[in-house]
Structure 1
């Protein structure tokens, strides 16, 4: 499991926070009832698994190689196993069940065909989807995955493919459980800047596929998942299988099908452009822009989509009107492609200059609330599990600031780091105040530095908190010293002391208490 890789040598260097911080957290935790109903969580993590390997939590599995020049086909061997036939030896199917390497945490909410899993050695959180070997479309999809290297920041990344006697098991990166439609689930309408930001990312992902002559042809609003981050909404294409495994009669697919493809389905640029633009309009209106009857059949829906004509003449926003009129043009020949749409004013004018990673991380320091040692250790665990990329950025920034390479950043070194990346008036006074609030003398260790710099709202999502509770509680209804000692690499006596302080010597945290401790950091 993810570990705090800078273990304390001297307790004086642990940077515990003020007694006021302990009192505040303890008060919040102990106010919660200890008589809450207990329930066992459906967590199948084997607590006897070794976690001695404390290297990178990235899965060490197969990285799918670049798009093959020759078609890969799966040849059936004995015992219902397949081998990949290709000139490249890099295209392989890993034998055996994925659960020899991973442990089940839970099924994905709203889609029980997808499981949230963790690597038994590294603890890296991933997700797994199973496909039947006796389904020709599933076999075609596995062939397609092995034939194409899909590597884009706005597309879910495939890590490994396993096979047992009955199933293929596709392991991919874990992204939050949020389908894009949840942004408007309660009738909420996105602002134009938000719509522009989401459209830009969706178009970047699908344009990347188009550049490889891959056309989706089954895009719906829930082909994408999202995370709300500090600098906006982050979107990824999470439904790759729809490219191969077709559900043309599915009502959701029909809703986002372009008129010319209603009775003559095809996969091409024009169809994908229509679907993305319609998703953008839906996010802006808060509802799909069709008048749909309560008794909706496939044929009724097909007729509505086929005959509907969008009219944008009365729209006041000229930039949005231009975007919609060129992307939702009923004449597919006049519909522009994604490369052109990415340069339309509605997309470009809302693309704000984003802060550099260093600017963002350092800005977080001045806004972060004080935290106790246990909170520090848990936030390090969470960042390693759910935001490995930012963890690496923080480690790099810490190394840059640690000029004398003593494993600590002094007040003077921190001021220098700020002055290198940010122009903040009276930064020396602000750093002085920070050190006073944290009751620090003159140095910060790497754990506290990470706890201060990380984007807390991003990593402390409801989904991440729930998953981490299930891991740290070792398949029980409470987190105890045993789970904390297993996954937090710090002195056992220090963890025990912190847990005792926060829980009035009960030495356990239920789910609500655990969530509260983390929410106090936001």
Structure 2
């Protein structure tokens, strides 16, 4: 059974609402607003600085979640249009190896972008510290990067400035997962379209970018250079000046001269050579890189049968949840949950995602259910209930929302933060107008909003207070395991 109707509530209202299921895409919760950062965040420390501005560690006051805040001064010469494009791109992207954005706050002096806090530092820093990585570790890191760029290219998005400084570790563990950041130079492209603007960083830029006539395969070249650097500690093309580096990139062949290469497999070297083919037509596509056996060795296969079965069963039960709980789950997963909390679910997602495009099709989900022995299911209904943006696939956050152990990721602080997010006017109650404002960029209609309030409104005042909210969210609807 789904959410229980509030005490004294007519049960026919609940039955009507179950036929009008509501799912909200994560981007609905990523707000761009004017205001003061200190109203919602406590400043902890400065953790970075660059030509663009500063990066601070901040704590979200309601949820206590820690985030990284990229603060850009409006007084300096910045391309505001490009910054807005970067924010818009990050709002659309939904992949476990791409940094999440939470909100944008603009005040009189700065634009502040609140993002996921990756505590493990840059890939560049680890390369400097370790000189180079073992082949096993490098292939694990490479799988994360290739998966993210494959997802981007599927979305017709090219990054254009891949380098170790733009790749962060989630935490400081050796086997930490990677996140790609800084989409300020990225661009949506059309098939067979050539780009002319020079963008990139000297050691990692593709030869055709130097010639200002390139396509999305420039990202493959950059990944090839990163792989080379991870395995031996130095770039494949070198020079004393930028001009010398560019000349080397355009004219010299890849060689494996240092002693570090003696223990590297021929499969790894072969992949690098094919990724660093100077002719972009002959160079591997990102799909071909992803399918290479050296990369696939690190792909997560469905090995944890109990966890996979539980996750898929939770998806099956998701259809029984009432709309208020579904919205709240989506908010907590997309805005408050730390990546490490859902690491096991991420592995399940990756194992189900057979073609590595960062989203689950009906067939991929069906194969997962068959693998776990579940065959009696309404797949169309599951897709309809879980696919928040109605694009015909389950994106990463949609999967997490439907498959997670709800009680494990919920806390008083997170419930209060979700309540505050829906209480638009700060009155201490969620009103009809609050939900109209919260869902104004969606196709949610007035009747659905009315039903949300009616189910939770125990005292009949036409609004949802915090106690009513917590009761309906944490009520014994069903056992998520």
TM-score (norm 2): 0.51
> Are the structure 2 counterparts of residues 391 and 233 from structure 1 closer, same or farther at C-alpha, using a change threshold of 3 Å?
closer
Q: Which residue of the other structure, out of 248, 252, 273, is the alignment partner of 1:325?
A: 273
Distance apart, 1:145 and its partner CA: 2.1
Of 109-118 and 131-140, the range deviating more from structure 2: 131-140
TM-superposition CA deviations, 1:343-381 (whole Å, max 9, x none):
111111244658649889xxxxxxxxxxxxxxxxxxxxx
The answer to whether the 8 Å contact 2:139/2:295 transfers is yes
Q: Is there any run of 5+ residues in structure 1 with no aligned partner, and where?
A: 1-61, 66-89, 361-384, 395-452, 454-522
The answer to whether the 8 Å contact 1:179/1:224 transfers is yes
Q: Which residue of 2 aligns with 1:145?
A: 87
The answer to whether the 8 Å contact 2:98/2:180 transfers is yes
- The 2-side partners of 1:357 and 1:230 are apart by 26
Matched, 1:64 2:27: yes
Matched, 1:217 2:160: yes
Alignment: residue pair count: 282
- The 1-side partners of 2:148 and 2:343 are apart by 24
> Are the structure 2 counterparts of residues 298 and 115 from structure 1 closer, same or farther at C-alpha, using a change threshold of 3 Å?
same
Q: Which residue of 2 aligns with 1:10?
A: none
Distance apart, 1:131 and its partner CA: 3.0
Q: Which residue of the other structure, out of 201, 208, 211, is the alignment partner of 1:253?
A: 201
- The 1-side partners of 2:74 and 2:343 are apart by 41
Matched, 1:183 2:122: no
Q: Which residue of 2 aligns with 1:304?
A: 248
- The 2-side partners of 1:354 and 1:189 are apart by 30
- The 2-side partners of 1:229 and 1:98 are apart by 28
> Are the structure 2 counterparts of residues 269 and 123 from structure 1 closer, same or farther at C-alpha, using a change threshold of 3 Å?
same
Q: Which residue of 2 aligns with 1:238?
A: 181
RMSD of the TM alignment (CA)? 3.9
Q: Which residue of 2 aligns with 1:292?
A: 239
Distance apart, 1:249 and its partner CA: 8.4
Partner of 1:186, secondary structure, is: helix
- The 2-side partners of 1:236 and 1:123 are apart by 22
Q: Which residue of 2 aligns with 1:457?
A: none
Q: Which residue of the other structure, out of 212, 221, 229, is the alignment partner of 1:264?
A: 212
TM-superposition CA deviations, 1:369-409 (whole Å, max 9, x none):
xxxxxxxxxxxxxxxx9974555799xxxxxxxxxxxxxxx
The answer to whether the 8 Å contact 2:82/2:184 transfers is no
Partner of 1:64, secondary structure, is: helix
- The 1-side partners of 2:41 and 2:171 are apart by 28
Q: Which residue of the other structure, out of 125, 147, 150, is the alignment partner of 1:207?
A: 150
> Are the structure 2 counterparts of residues 115 and 281 from structure 1 closer, same or farther at C-alpha, using a change threshold of 3 Å?
same
TM-superposition CA deviations, 1:304-362 (whole Å, max 9, x none):
222221146998733213311221111111011111111111111244658649889xx
- The 2-side partners of 1:189 and 1:298 are apart by 24
The answer to whether the 8 Å contact 1:132/1:166 transfers is yes
Distance apart, 1:198 and its partner CA: 0.9
> Are the structure 2 counterparts of residues 192 and 352 from structure 1 closer, same or farther at C-alpha, using a change threshold of 3 Å?
farther
- The 2-side partners of 1:231 and 1:176 are apart by 12
Distance apart, 1:114 and its partner CA: 0.9
In our comparison, the structure showing a higher alpha carbon Rg is 1
Distance apart, 1:285 and its partner CA: 0.5
Q: Which residue of 2 aligns with 1:104?
A: 43
Q: Which residue of the other structure, out of 83, 100, 122, is the alignment partner of 2:63?
A: 122
- The 1-side partners of 2:206 and 2:165 are apart by 17
